[in-house]
Amino acid sequence: MKRGSIFETDGIPRMSEALPLAMQHVVAMIVGCVTPAIIVSGAVPGGLSREDQVILIQSALVIAALSTLLQLFPIGGKAKFAIGSGLPIIMGVSFAYVPSMQAIAESYGIAAIMGAEIVGGIVAVVMGLLVKKIRVFFPPLITGTVVFTIGLSLYPTAINYMAGGTSSPNYGSWQNWAIAFFTLIVVTALNHFGKGIWKLASILIGIIVGYLVSIPFGMVDFSSIGEAGVCQLPSLMHFGVQFEPSSCVALGILFAINSIQAIGDYSATTIGAMDRTPKDDELQRGIVGYGLSNVVGALLGGLPTATYSQNVGIVTTTKVINRWVLGLAAAILGIAGLVPKFSAILTTIPQCVLGGATVSVFASIAMTGMKLVASAEMDYRNSSIVGLAAALGMGVSQATAALASFPTWVTTIFGKSPVVLATIIAVMLNVILPKTRDEQKEEAKKKIKIEQKLEEDHREFGE
């Protein structure tokens, strides 16, 4: 393999250049990658055993690594039916699925999440194959509403964690709140006053500082570290697979949304760092790869992955698009996932520390959704779509007794997580409510452009 620049897609750069840049990506995403696994393991009635919790965290890291490598180095290269986008993208376990996974874990266990993830992966593959036709139903207004609702729905989780976790006998104690706010202050201060790696790694540094402060309070139990092994490969279907229909529907809808959401990350990467828009075949291969990697991930005990926007931000800021740099980051994640002792250390982090560190992440998710919503004109029509979708989604999920007379599957799909109901309502209203004349003109222009593009593609194929 030829020597290459870090600003070129191909070619192997010098290790002295590649390693610091790879570690930058790892630091930016590792907390976000493992925290959903910790949250979901706590949602299971009685909680997962420490051993199973370690395995769930391990699988999250390993699957994130494999998913990233598939996107960077597609199976089939640049052939039309290759799998993987070939773009400089980092994949990791996504917070977008956490509210629904918590609901599924509470009612049916981890096996039902794995079964629903397989179905969701298949949905993503279909979305990838039909991406040109389907993306029209998910403009920024709709995806923004969904992302905003996801952020809002995660706030109670963060607050419960800040208080020490609902299963903790010390839930709500002043010690938990003190350490949670101390961690939050560290993260916030680094975000706003830090520079370089201090700003980039603010959440990781906040967790480390909060962790060290919590040790004198007797909140950290190191016993699980000594019991964990040195090296362990993910095992096939360790948690089992259960295809519970309502869980499959709930996650399937989220996978469809995330497939469209991924287009934004692909576009941001290519426009910001490569001075071009993503090609249709890159989008198709990338989303299909995203779906298939989640099918495999579920069989290996991994939770649903998605593109990581914070790493997209790093790529667009540094302009480093070399696939081997990002591949090295994926390799580091994979190695960390094969070491149970590393995962065991993560299970000892007190919940109040995680809550203090991640509440800012959840706030950021909600604000990202708000920015997407604000990118559309906030006329009466669009305000109605966003307002009604968020109101009904959040309202029904918080008034849990409101669906008591309905079958259990209705509650699982619509009552436990606001995201699914908000999505369905937003999409339906966007289709049903009449558009303004300006919007109709804009859509007509887009339709003409699409028809011209299809005609050009047909001519090229015919030749």
Query: How far, in Å, CA of 224 to CA of 216, rounded?
Result: 18
Q: What are phi and psi of 111, to 5 degrees?
A: -60, -35
| Inter-residue contact 149 to 362 (CB < 8 Å) | no
Residue with tokens 């006053």: 193
Q: Is the pLDDT of residue 427 over 60?
A: yes
pLDDT tens digit sequence for 187-216: 899 888 888 768 767 777 888 899 899 888
Question: CA 225 from chain center: how many Å?
Answer: 27
What pLDDT is stored for residue 276 in this prediction? Answer: 81
What pLDDT is stored for residue 463 in this prediction? Answer: 40
> Which of 181 and 29 is assigned the larger pLDDT?
181
Share above pLDDT 70 across residues of the chain, in percent, rounded to a whole number: 91
Residue ranges per domain, the chain? 15-381, 437-463
If you average pLDDT over residues 215-238, what whole number do you get?
78
If you average pLDDT over residues 156-183, what whole number do you get?
86
* Token duo for residue 405: 């007379």
Confidence bin at 343 (pLDDT 50/70/90): confident
Question: At a CB cut-off of 8 Å and minimum separation 6, what does 415 contact?
Answer: 396, 397, 400, 402, 403, 406
pLDDT tens digit sequence for 269-326: 887 788 887 888 888 999 999 999 999 999 999 999 988 877 777 787 678 888 998 9
Question: CA 54 from chain center: how many Å?
Answer: 20
According to DSSP, residue 229 is labeled -
What pLDDT is stored for residue 217 in this prediction? Answer: 85
Q: How far is CA 241 from CA 37, 107, 115, 163, in A?
A: 17, 15, 5, 33
Judging by beta carbons within 10 Å of its beta carbon (0-12, 13-18, 19+), is residue 176 exposed, middle or buried?
buried
| Helix pair angle (140-162, 351-374), 10° resolution | 160
Query: How far, in Å, CA of 253 to CA of 246, rounded?
Result: 11
What pLDDT is stored for residue 444 in this prediction? Answer: 62
Bridge partners of residue 306, in order along the sequence: 92
Q: Is the pLDDT of residue 100 over 50?
A: yes
Of 138-142, 187-191, 328-332, 446-450, the least confident: 446-450
Of 130-144, 242-256, 323-337, 447-461, the least confident: 447-461
Query: How far, in Å, CA of 146 to CA of 306, rounded?
Result: 15
Of 303-312, 403-412, 442-451, the least confident: 442-451
Please report the DSSP string for 343-392 in residue order.
HHHHHTS-HHHHHHHHHHHHHHHHHHHHHHHHTS---HHHHHHHHHHHHH
Confidence bin at 223 (pLDDT 50/70/90): confident
What pLDDT is stored for residue 461 in this prediction? Answer: 38
* Token duo for residue 458: 């047909």
| Nearest alpha carbon to residue 261 among 413, 372, 156, 110 | 372
What pLDDT is stored for residue 33 in this prediction? Answer: 85
Confidence bin at 101 (pLDDT 50/70/90): very high
| Inter-residue contact 111 to 299 (CB < 8 Å) | no
Write down the mean pLDDT value for the chain.
83
Of 95-99, 227-231, 342-346, 446-450, the least confident: 446-450
Confidence bin at 460 (pLDDT 50/70/90): very low
What pLDDT is stored for residue 327 in this prediction? Answer: 92
Dihedral sign, Cα of residue 105, residue 106, residue 109, residue 113: negative
The letter for the amino acid at 30 is I
